[in-house]
Structures are given as C-alpha cells and as structure tokens.
Amino acid sequence: CIYPSFVETVGLAVDGTPMRITSVGGGFPAAQTFLEVKALEVAMAVENGADEIDIVLNVGRMLTGEYDEAANEVEVIRSELDEDVVLKVIIESGALKTPELIRRASLLSMFAGADFVKTSTGKIDVAAVVMCQAIRDYYEKTGRKVGFKAAGGVRTPEDAALYYTIVEEILGREWLTTDLFRIGASSAANNLLSAIEGKPVKYY
C-alpha cells in the first residue's frame, strides 16, 4: 500500500507476481484538497498500475452535516476508476465517534460506489458492529456485497478473532473471504503467525 507517485516503481518490481498494488489517494490522509486534485490523483495512480485505491471520506463535511457533498466526492472519484479497480473508503470512525454518524458515513460511501468501507483509527470495535450492520442493510436493499476492513488498533490474535466473529455473526460466513473481509494491521501479522505456529515468528 503506497502513495500514488510510487505505483509505477513498485509495479516494475512486482511485475509477473500475484502481488496487487494498493495506492492511497484523494489527498490522503486528511482528504483536505480540491476535488479535482483528488480525482486526478487516483486516476493517475490507476493509470500507473494500481489495482486498488484507498481514500478517506471527507470527515469535515460529515461533521458539518454536508452529507451530499461528502458522498459526491466519493462518486466523482469512483467515476475515475474502471469497474475492476477496488475502491476502499476510510470513514475515520474515531473522528465521527457516534454510531449514527458512522452508520451514515458507511451507507453514503456504499451508495456512492465503495467496494469496501474501512474503519481506520478510533473505537473500531463499536464501529465494526455498526458498519457491518450498515453493510448488511445495504446488501438487503441493493443485492450488492460491500467488503469490511478493520484497520488501526488490531494487534493481537484476539483482536483479529473479534473482528472475524463480528463479520461472521452479522454478515455470515460468505463474507469471510479476502474479497469481502480484511484486517489492515501489519503489526498483527507476526502475532497471528506466531499463534498459528506455536512459536515466535517475525516474518514482517
């Protein structure tokens, strides 16, 4: 997962391998730049070889009640991407704080074209439940499956198991694939591998 300016360089290094390239874009991490700049940045990242794009929902607009404007930004960025490019929208649940606003941000992102909604930092255990419920409700209304990604604060095997269980209980086992459920936590990878192997593993 890299900045747009490095996509081409990484693409040359991983060419011929199954590794996919994710690029953060849209004025990451604060999303505080012109919409035209955001759209151009993600378009250039994809042109250079990015398979997936991560953007941050405009938290400022969400906090000031400008919901249509926040959703419009996601729609515009989605329009710059081919259908096979995965768009993950980080809703910054820690900044939104309330379950009502987290749910609204999740639904707005999905209706605007997000393939994944992602927690980022903050109280992600509460956010995970709310977001998965929003994904379920969206799926029941539209028939389109949107993925969930937990990121920030996931460090232990127990943390990972918690989010696995939340997804399984709310969305069902069909969501437990890399196409629909991910954990963004490189710090947890070694701990998970160590738990599986029964000995210390420092792969990452």
Active site residues: 54, 118, 149
Q: In this structure, are residues 33 and 71 in contact, taking their beta carbons and an 8 Å threshold?
A: no
Contacts for 120 with CB less than 8 Å, ≥ 6 apart: 56, 90, 91, 92, 93, 94, 151, 152
Q: From 176, 87, 171, select the one nearest 131 (Cα to Cα).
A: 171
CA atoms within 13 A on the CB side of 82: 10
Task: Give the start-end residues of each E strand in the chain.
Answer: 22-24, 52-56, 86-90, 116-118, 147-151, 181-184
- For 34, the token pair is 């012109």
Rounded Cα–Cα distance for residues 129 and 125 (Å): 7
